[in-house]
Amino acid sequence: MMLRIMTHNQWKNDDNLPAWVEQGKDCSAAVRMRGFTRVYAETLPDIIGGQEVSATMADLLIRYTAENGMRYALLWGRDTPILYRPDKLELVDSEFSLYPDEFPGHEGVFNNSQTKSYCIAVFRVKESGKLLIFASTHLWWKSGKPSSPNYQPYSDEARAYQMSLLIARIDALQEKYACPAIIVGDLNADYQSLAVGAAFAHGFVHAHDVATEHADETMGYHDCFAWGYHAYYRDTPFETAIDHILLRGMPEGAVKRFERFSPDYYLPLSDHSPAYIDLEL
């Protein structure tokens, strides 16, 4: 059976903002969730791992998709919830956790807005009976580069530590359920980072690297913030992307396509393009 699995950072913002009003634009959740509903209608994902999703945004997404004939169930995970199709998938088990503020042995706070977390679901595919572990996560955001205006020492190491906490929970679930696992999310870290390297060291592979039919080479990012948005995507390669799909225990050849969805109409919706894979399970 083929499943389409998506990661989607949605830019956590509920209300229209002054700079957008001045430009005659609207970045409210009520408007942007209509745009995301269009995205889902055009891509038809079976599982969506969200990041930067407020309660208002999640509520509107469930309502708007239902109005458009798409039925999604919501596994609430604070800023990292999971949406899934209950006609295809049965929820067997789940976990949620905020990452700790502390990174042991290092000075500083590494979850100062209490938004960095993971949400894990164990699904049974109804058609086949096969099990799948799926995790949506959002890691610490500050830069580990001293030249950055958002520099905080040990930020790169803190992201790798957070990834190790998530993988420890997935280890336990894979031991219990003996099934493949997927991690999706905004890791705030590129392909060469310590965080992605930590996943590789624990046996995960990147969906981009194992896709057999197509692997998107774009970054899938553009500026879309309180001041407005840029009407173009950043022209930088895949290796600079911070939204990732990582897999462990999948049969060889299971990932068919790795895509980023970046149409022009998406530009005022979020700074992160959704990425998805087609997975034969």
CATH of the domain at 251: 3.60.10.10
What is the rounded CA–CA span in Å between residue 251 and residue 166? 22
In the structure, what pLDDT confidence band is assigned to residue 86 with cuts at 50, 70 and 90?
Answer: very high
Pick from 241, 234, 237: nearest CA to 206: 241
Residue 279: half-sphere exposure toward Cβ, Cα within 13 Å:
27
Tokens 């955001």, located at residue: 141
> Which pLDDT belongs to residue 166?
98
What is the rounded CA–CA span in Å between residue 239 and residue 22? 36
> Which pLDDT belongs to residue 62?
98
Segment 89-118 mean pLDDT = 96
Number of domains, the chain: 1
What is the span of the domain harbouring residue 133?
2-280
> Which pLDDT belongs to residue 219?
97
Segment 40-69 mean pLDDT = 98
**Helix and strand totals (H; E) in the chain:** 6, 15
> Which pLDDT belongs to residue 212?
98
> Which pLDDT belongs to residue 202?
98
Residue 12 near residue 52, CB atoms below 8 Å: yes
Pick from 175, 162, 4: nearest CA to 93: 175
> Which pLDDT belongs to residue 117?
98
What is the rounded CA–CA span in Å between residue 31 and residue 37? 10
Is the pTM of the predicted complex or chain greater than 0.95?
yes
Pick from 192, 157, 206, 150: nearest CA to 7: 206
> Which pLDDT belongs to residue 198?
98
Q: What is residue 258's three-state secondary structure?
A: strand
What is the rounded CA–CA span in Å between residue 68 and residue 160? 39
Percent of the chain with pLDDT over 90: 99
In the structure, what pLDDT confidence band is assigned to residue 153 with cuts at 50, 70 and 90?
Answer: very high
Segment 200-208 mean pLDDT = 98
In the structure, what pLDDT confidence band is assigned to residue 173 with cuts at 50, 70 and 90?
Answer: very high
| C-alpha dist (Å) from residue 29 to 78, 91, 224 | 16, 27, 14
